[in-house]
Structures are given as structure tokens and as C-alpha cells.
């Protein structure tokens, strides 16, 4: 199975461990992720918050390059997924926008590429039974809160999930790896996203609610599929604890890290040492 | 929230201006406030989503452009996904933000500064150079000391790179920014 892979800026820096673990899991499961040559930033929040034409043009440049590769585009960062998928739909629907964007980027993109999240590849193309068969170190006994956040969930037209209030794609994978996904009500709440730097208190409040709810629901750890979510829950966890005086101590993995661990990939190749909340106690069990 | 008695000006054409093709379904709003009940930022905003939509129909352009709400919205799409009429509030917020240059307070202006620094970074390098962008943001937002303690650990863990990304994409991305801006100036 071969795909055109769009890593995105976060995976080059704060979410380097997401990238490492994704590539390692892909290799272990026989998935070939070929990086889109010379890819550029998707535009992220600042593009769509300031200029709709820019928000369509920055993804379009990448899609035009990917088009020549003739494969589905696979994205891991939820934010990049959302920007690429949104532009893809807008460009397919609107011929006038398509013409403007072609003039701006200097590349023709006809639309029609499939943009997919790696979670979809695992669920739909690899399949859960194949994953189950590849597990060498079952996660049995580990209670996991799967956190989806906003950008994979909403808006509905771009969602990779069947149920926007109680999604299952990550839960399925964790269960296939032997873990026990907990039922909890904050799967798709917002963590505060890009306000991490500009409105830190907001993020501490929203992410704090999510962390406490995961803990109350009996989870030993959280898994996430978005660099923004992961960093808000992991990097800001100490601040949340300090603000409330309450210890939380929940490691926050990328789903690829925990899956990779179950597939027997060494922790160092999954970037597990990059996590802020130390997960060694629960991985050693 | 502004009381209707204090409306300063009315732009009858506001709905037409914001949503000429009716794609955002603003006129279908039932005022049921389901959107506002679940809004992530309901505790920090001055205008709730259902109020914002009503204000568009009433032509309250000035109040909307000066509101906190268009800055505090985190684009989580909870409102529209629960709306029975598919009123696209986050798309409305994006359009309103496009119409304004500055935020109503220094605190909210930080969001604007952050966005601009990130765009500059994209334009210069083709990808975001986080460390460099954070430095400029912190200087411009006069927010030098928050999170400083985190930087050494992040660098040590390789969560932030010291040097900017080098890509061949930078030139063509910069050209995209220039062309979009040129078009915008004409608009
Ligand atoms: S949920 Fe939809 S219909 Fe109800 S008030 Fe909000 S925008 Fe209007
Ligand atoms: S998209 Fe904005 S207005 Fe809608 S629920 Fe989220 S924060 Fe509130």
C-alpha cells in the first residue's frame, strides 16, 4: 500500500515523535508513505483567520504536487488534515476559486484527490484483524482515554468519523492492540487549540477539564491524534496541576506511539522519551 | 453584549456582503441557541454565536467588528455541527476577521500578532520556523517571560529546532503570499 505523505510543520518540530512513530508503525504494517516532495505549510489557523484565498492557495500548492504522484494523500496532523481537506472540497466545488488559485500558485490542480487521515488507513485499508495479528506486546490491562478533539470531528463534511459525539476510530485501534478504551464524555471537546500561546489560561481551563475527566473515567493515559491537542494536554499538564494544586499525572501519547509499542517497536524509535509526562511506569507493566 | 438600544449604525446590506450566495445559512437561524449552549468559548466571549447571527441580520456591522467574540472564537465548529439549520458561525467569524485589522484590546491583539508572525514565518521559509516565530511574537506581544522555563526542555527533547527549515518551497510560497496580497489590494 502506497500513499503520498504530507507531514506538516508540527511534525518537523514539536511533534517530531508523532512523525517518528507514524513512520515506524507504517513500516511495521507494510504501508509505504512517500513524502510529497518540497511540501509547504498548509496555512494552518492564521491563513483561514485572515484570508480565504490564502487559505485555499497554500494547501492547493501541495495538492497540485501530490496530484502527480497519483496516490491518496495521507495526513497525520489533525490541523493539516482539516486545512487540506477543506481546501480540497472548496476547490472541487468552485471553478472560479480554482482558476484564481491556479493563477496564484502557478500550478493547475483539478481537484479529486482523496485526502485521508492515517487513522482511516489503519482502520479501513490495513484492517483491525491485521493489526491484532501483528501485536507482539499486548497492551492488556491498560485503560486508555481516546481523545479526538475538534479537527478530525468537525465540520461534518470533512469529518473522518461516523459519530461526531462518540467516535471510535482510535478506540478500535487501541482495542486491537489489547488495551481497554474507557467510555468518557469529553472525546470531542475542544482543548483550546491554537490559543496555547496567546490565551494560556483558556487552554489551561479547557485542557484541565479534559484531563480531569479522563482521570475520573479511570484512564491510565490519553491517546491523541493531533499535535496541538497532544501538546496542550502534555506540555501544559504541569501548569494545570500547579493552578489547581491537584496531581493528574496522565501520560499523553500519540496513538501511533502506543500502537508502535504494542507492535514491538523499541520506544526510542517511537520518540517516547520526548513526552513531558513520564510514561515509563505504565509502559513497564 | 450590546443592547439593541445602543445600536450605533445599521448596515442593511451586511448579510448580502458577508454571505452573498447564502452558503452560511445565516438567514435560517431559529434563535434556538443550541450553538451557544455548547460554544467552547461561551464563558470568555461578549457575544454568543446565536446573538452574533442575529446581529448580522440586524446589520450591526460596527458592533460585530469591535466585538471580542470574533477573536475569542477558537474555530472548534461545535456550534455549526449541533445547529439544526447548519448556520456556519465559524465561517462567519472568519469573514468578520478578514474585515478588521486590529483587535479591541491589547490582550486580544496578541492573537492577531501571533497570526501575523506565523504568516511571516511561512512566507519566509515555506514552513513555520517555530523558535524564530516565537521570539518575534514574544517581543511584539511584550510577553517575554511566560513559558520561558519550558524552552530548554523543549530544545533538549528536540521538540523545537534551533535552525529554520531550509526548503526549496520557500520561493514559491513567498510568491503565493505576494499574489494573494496584490489581489486583496485590488478588491
Ligand atoms: S443553533 Fe443554529 S438555528 Fe439555533 S440559534 Fe444557533 S445558529 Fe440559530
Ligand atoms: S466555532 Fe467559535 S462560536 Fe462556534 S462553538 Fe467554537 S468557539 Fe464557539
Q: Is the CB of B87 under 6 A from ligand 1?
A: yes
Whole-number pLDDT of residue B5: 47
What does pLDDT average to over chain B?
A: 88
CA distance A60 to A88: 7
Q: Is the CB of B30 under 6 A from ligand 1?
A: yes
Residues 28-67, chain B, touching A (beta carbon < 8 A)? 40-41, 44
Nearest to B122 among A41, A193, A206 (CB): A41
Q: Is the CB of B67 under 6 A from ligand 2?
A: no
The alpha carbon of B50 and the centre of ligand 2 are apart by a number of angstroms equal to 10
3-state class (DSSP) for residue A116: strand
Nearest to B176 among A105, A164, A194 (CB): A105
Q: What tens digit of pLDDT does each residue of A231-253 get?
A: 999 999 999 999 989 999 999 99
pLDDT at B6 over 70: no
Show the beta-strand stretches assigned E in B42-151. none
Question: Closest ligand 2 atom to the C-alpha of B72?
Answer: 7
Q: What tens digit of pLDDT does each residue of A177-204 get?
A: 999 999 999 999 999 988 988 898 999 9
Average confidence (pLDDT) over B144-165: 75
Percent of chain A at pLDDT > 70 equals: 100
Which chain A residue's Cα is nearest to B178?
Answer: A104
Q: Hey, are the CB atoms on A194 and B157 less than 8 Å from each other? A: no
For residue A56, give the nearest of B94, B87, B118, B116 by alpha carbon.
Answer: B94
Q: At what angle do helices A52-67 and A95-105 cross, to 10 degrees?
A: 80
Q: What tens digit of pLDDT does each residue of A18-38 get?
A: 999 999 999 999 999 999 999
Q: Is the CB of B29 under 6 A from ligand 1?
A: yes
Q: State the fold for domain A2-118.
A: Glutathione S-transferase Yfyf (Class Pi); Chain A, domain 2 (1.20.1050)
CB count in 10 Å sphere of residue A210 = 26
Nearest to A53 among B134, B170, B180 (CB): B180
The alpha carbon of B45 and the centre of ligand 1 are apart by a number of angstroms equal to 17
Interface test with B, best of A190, A232, A273, A279 (most B CBs within 10 A): A190
Whole-number pLDDT of residue B7: 60
Domain boundaries, chain A: 2-118, 130-284
**Residue stretches of chain A with pLDDT short of 70:** none
Whole-number pLDDT of residue A92: 93
Q: Hey, are the CB atoms on B40 and A106 less than 8 Å from each other? A: no
- Global ipTM: 0.88
Whole-number pLDDT of residue B157: 78
Q: In A, which residues are within 8 Å of B49 by CB distance?
A: none
Whole-number pLDDT of residue B135: 80
CA distance A235 to A268: 19
pLDDT at B8 over 70: no
Sheet holding A32-35, edge to edge: A32-35, A2-6, A73-75, A115-117
For residue A74, give the nearest of A149, A124, A129, A147 by alpha carbon.
Answer: A124
Whole-number pLDDT of residue A8: 94
Q: Is the CB of B133 under 6 A from ligand 1?
A: no
CA distance A138 to A248: 25
Q: Hey, are the CB atoms on B126 and A40 less than 8 Å from each other? A: yes
- B75: Cβ contacts below 8 Å, ≥ 6 apart: A45, A48, A49, A150, A193, B90, B93, B94
Which backbone phi and psi does A5 adopt, to 5 degrees? Answer: -105, 125
Q: Is the CB of B91 under 6 A from ligand 1?
A: no
Average confidence (pLDDT) over B34-49: 96
The alpha carbon of B30 and the centre of ligand 1 are apart by a number of angstroms equal to 6
Residues 88-107, chain B, touching A (beta carbon < 8 A)? 88, 94-95, 97-98
Domains (range + CATH), chain B: 4-100 (1.10.1060), 106-178 (no CATH)
Beta bridge partners of A253: A223
Q: Is the CB of B25 under 6 A from ligand 2?
A: no
Q: What tens digit of pLDDT does each residue of B111-151 get?
A: 998 899 999 989 999 988 888 878 888 888 887 667 777 77
DSSP B10-43: --TTHHHHH-TT-TT-GGG-----HHHHH-TTTT
Residue closest via CA to ligand 2's atom 8 equals: B39
Q: State the fold for domain A130-284.
A: Rossmann fold (3.40.50)
Amino acid at each position: 500500500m502506497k500513499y503520498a505523505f504530507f507531514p506538516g510543520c508540527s511534525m518537523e518540530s514539536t511533534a517530531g515523535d508523532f512523525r517518528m512513530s507514524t513512520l515506524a508503525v507504517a513500516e511495521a504494517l507494510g504501508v509505504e508513505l512517500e513524502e510529497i516532495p518540497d511540501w509547504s505549510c498548509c496555512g494552518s489557523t492564521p491563513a483561514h483567520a485572515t484570508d480565504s484565498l490564502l487559505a485555499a492557495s497554500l494547501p492547493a500548492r501541495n495538492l497540485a504536487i501530490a496530484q502527480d504522484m497519483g496516490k491518496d494523500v495521507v495526513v497525520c496532523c489533525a490541523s493539516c488534515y482539516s486545512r487540506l481537506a477543506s481546501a480540497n472540497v472548496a476547490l472541487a466545488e468552485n471553478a472560479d476559486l480554482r482558476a484564481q488559485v491556479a493563477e496564484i500558485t502557478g500550478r493547475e490542480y483539478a481537484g479529486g484527490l482523496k485526502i485521508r487521515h492515517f487513522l482511516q488507513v489503519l482502520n479501513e485499508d490495513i484492517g483491525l484483524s491485521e493489526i491484532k495479528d501483528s501485536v507482539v506486546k499486548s497492551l492488556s490491562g491498560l485503560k486508555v482515554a481516546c481523545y479526538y478533539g475538534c479537527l478530525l470531528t468537525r465540520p461534518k463534511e470533512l469529518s473522518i468519523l461516523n459519530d461526531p459525539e462518540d467516535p471510535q476510530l482510535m478506540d478500535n485501534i487501541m482495542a486491537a492492540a489489547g488495551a481497554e478504551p474507557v467510555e468518557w464524555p469529553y472525546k470531542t471537546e475542544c482543548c483550546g487549540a491554537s490559543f496555547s500561546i496567546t490565551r494560556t489560561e483558556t487552554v489551561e481551563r479547557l485542557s484541565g477539564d479534559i484531563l480531569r475527566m479522563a482521570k475520573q473515567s479511570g484512564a491510565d493515559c490519553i491517546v491523541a491524534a493531533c499535535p496541538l491537542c497532544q501538546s496542550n494536554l502534555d506540555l501544559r499538564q504541569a501548569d494545570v496541576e500547579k493552578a489547581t494544586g491537584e496531581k493528574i499525572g496522565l501520560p499523553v501519547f500519540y496513538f501511533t506511539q502506543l500502537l508502535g509499542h504494542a507492535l514491538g517497536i523499541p520506544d526510542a524509535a517511537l520518540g517516547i522519551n520526548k513526552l513531558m509526562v513520564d510514561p515509563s511506569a505504565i509502559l513497564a507493566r | 453584549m450590546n443592547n439593541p438600544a445602543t445600536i450605533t449604525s445599521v448596515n442593511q446590506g451586511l448579510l448580502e456582503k458577508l454571505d452573498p450566495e447564502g452558503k452560511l445559512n445565516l438567514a435560517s437561524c431559529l434563535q434556538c441557541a443550541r450553538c451557544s449552549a455548547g460554544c467552547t468559548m461561551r464563558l470568555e466571549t461578549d457575544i454568543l454565536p446565536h446573538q452574533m447571527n442575529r446581529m448580522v441580520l440586524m446589520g450591526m456591522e460596527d458592533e460585530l467588528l469591535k466585538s471580542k467574540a470574533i477573536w475569542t472564537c477558537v474555530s472548534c465548529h461545535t456550534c455549526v455541527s449541533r445547529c439544526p439549520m447548519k448556520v456556519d458561525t465559524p465561517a462567519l467569524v472568519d469573514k468578520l476577521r478578514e474585515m478588521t485589522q486590529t483587535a479591541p484590546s491589547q490582550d486580544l491583539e496578541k492573537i492577531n500578532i501571533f497570526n501575523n508572525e506565523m504568516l511571516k514565518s511561512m512566507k519566509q521559509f515555506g514552513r513555520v520556523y517555530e523558535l524564530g516565530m516565537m521570539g518575534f511574537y514574544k517581543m511584539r506581544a511584550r510577553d517575554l517571560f511566560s513559558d520561558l522555563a519550558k524552552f530548554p526542555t523543549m530544545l533538549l527533547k528536540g521538540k523545537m529546532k534551533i535552525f529554520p527549515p531550509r526548503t526549496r518551497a520557500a520561493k514559491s510560497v513567498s510568491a503565493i503570499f505576494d499574489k494573494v496580497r496584490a489581489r486583496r489590494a485590488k478588491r
